[in-house]
Amino acid sequence: MEGILINADSEKNSVIFNTFDNEKGVRIEMEASVAESGSYIINAQKLMNIVRSLPDEEVLLKVDSGCNVTITSSRSVFKLHSLPGSDFPAQPYLAGEIGFKIKEKEFLDMLSKVLFAAGINHQTKALNGVYVEIKGNNVKFIGCDGFRFAMCDKVCEVHNDSDEELDTNFIIPVKTASELVKVLSQSDDEIQIEGSRKHIIIKVRDMVLFSRTIDQKYISYERAIPQNSSISVTVNSGDIYSALERALLITEEKIVGAVKSYVRLSFKENVLTISSESINGSIKEEIGIFHTGEDIDIGFNCRYLAETMRACDNDDIEIKLNSPLMSMVFTPINPKEGEKYLFFVLPIRMKEQA
């Protein structure tokens, strides 16, 4: 499971690299000069570190009858042990019940906007992933961990493999989604996505990434989105994010047993005051805003709020509030055509409200 399966084919002069951890896997095929066919498993981390350290030249891999590997490049020679390819775990059959194509950069942008809010080890299994819903050309990505909610809704060019209008949804596990963010690019090229009730297959250039999906019904998120507000604030998300990054230096406790402090947001007239106190010290910063409604003080986990502001891409946003114990909702003032997103974060009860 810690190894990479390397299948070398002398007839096709190609090499297929395969990794799999019983939940997700990657398959990449590339051209190579193959003197003799073979199939072996080499420790992935060691092989990656070796190849990364080598100069930008050809790499020669040789495996003898005792599964001993010799890696040669320029003047460097490494020796490792391997296992027979037959020891590699069985992988799922890569075929989907539905299939469609979407631009790589659109898929990446939407996934990146909501991934931060997806749960990790949440007791509700469906929340431990990114929910994707596609109806025709309308694509929706959602992440929620019970404290934060992120939704990106966009009209995209979706090319369906079927004659019928696409109407599907699936949940990508958060670990798989995190790997996708690393390998996808801002390319205008289309990626092929195939899915079934239990698996998703994503084909990007010469790479195939496949993963189990979370086979559960997602939460009724529409009912969780606050509909009305009595307080409205207009501000630049980048200004708040910068201030919260500085506040993190105070609120993120590293001392064992210390109580993590919160960040306080005070909306008064046309000024937002961001402040926090902890055993490390204190911080206070003011930001100009446009504010309608009552003045309000509200507290948050600083990291949760900072990650939400970072996802807003330095846009001018509207903040909607009702009370210190209800969610704070963020929406863009001037979203791109055909795109809308919404975030909200649950506050924490401040000491004076206990």
Q: Which residues of 189-224 are buried (b: 16+ CB within 10 A; e: fewer)?
A: ebbbbbbbeebbbbbbeebbbbbbbbeeebbeeeee
| pLDDT, one tens digit for every residue, the chain (354 residues) | 889 999 999 999 999 999 998 889 999 999 999 999 999 999 999 999 999 999 889 999 999 999 999 999 988 999 999 999 999 988 766 666 788 999 999 999 999 999 999 999 899 999 999 999 999 999 999 999 999 999 999 999 999 878 788 999 999 999 999 999 999 999 999 999 998 778 899 999 889 999 999 999 999 988 888 888 999 999 999 999 999 999 998 886 554 444 567 899 999 999 999 999 888 789 999 999 999 999 999 999 999 999 999 998 878 999 999 999 999 999 999 888 888 899 999 999 887 543
Residues 207 and 308 in one domain: no
The answer to whether residue 93 is domain-embedded is no
> For position 13, which CATH number holds?
3.10.150.10
Q: In 10 A of CB 68, how many CB atoms?
A: 12
Of 165, 189, 222, the one marking the end of a domain is 222
Taking a C-beta distance cutoff of 8 angstroms, is the pair 209, 17 a contact?
no
Closest CA to 297 of 325, 277, 332, 260: 325
The answer to whether residue 92 is domain-embedded is no
Of 200, 222, 244, the one marking the end of a domain is 222
Residues 176 and 260 in one domain: no
> Torsion-angle region of residue 109: left (phi > 0), alpha (psi -120 to 50) or beta?
alpha
Residues 231 and 349 in one domain: yes
Residues 106 and 214 in one domain: yes
Domain of residue 218 covers 98-222
The answer to whether residue 331 is domain-embedded is yes
Domain count of the chain? 3
Which pTM does this prediction carry? 0.88
Residues 19 and 125 in one domain: no
Residues 122 and 77 in one domain: no
Closest CA to 58 of 32, 89, 94, 23: 32
Residue 255, both tokens: 């001392």
Taking a C-beta distance cutoff of 8 angstroms, is the pair 266, 236 a contact?
no
What phi, psi does 121 have (nearest 5°)? 60, 35
Residues 217 and 271 in one domain: no
d(CA 86, CA 239): 56
Residue 97, both tokens: 């019940």
Of 205, 222, 239, the one marking the end of a domain is 222
